Amino acid sequence: MTDGLVHCLQDCLNKTVEVTFKDSIDKDVCGQLIGFDGCNILLSSIKDSTHPSDPILIDLEYVCMVTVHNGDAQSYGKAFENFRLEYAKKQKRLKATEGTETT
């Protein structure tokens, strides 16, 4: 499942690079603009998230859709930040739920 998430994110980034910058800018520069560092943070944060019903799957798909649809680095940045905030909230809720189940 993790491979699928990684592929989705990479595909999303590749499409953004293509749509936003075409061939007029180096891919590495584009990567910095749209936040490959942020994506690495995202990927490392989901490595342990392998359950198919995990809400992160839907969120990641949403980030991909927003990015590709808007084809715009600023939109990507906003979508990614929103994703990180939502993911953090969900992680807190999941931990709270796990705490009540174990007691």
Contact 61, 8 (CB under 8 A): yes
Residue type, 58: I
**Mean pLDDT across 63-87:** 59
Q: Collapsing DSSP states into helix, strand and coil, what is residue 29?
A: helix
- What span, in angstroms and rounded, lies between the C-alpha atoms of 21 and 5? 24
Percent of the chain with pLDDT over 70: 9
Range of the structural domain that residue 50 is part of:
2-102
User: And the tokens for 24?
Assistant: 């007029």
Give the per-residue pLDDT at 23.
Answer: 42
| Domains identified in the chain, total number | 1
Q: Considering the entire predicted model, what is its pTM?
A: 0.33
Which is nearest to 67 in space by CA: 6, 7, 5, 9?
A: 9
With cut-offs at 50, 70 and 90, classify the pLDDT of residue 17: very low
Contact 75, 66 (CB under 8 A): yes
Percent of the chain with pLDDT over 90: 0
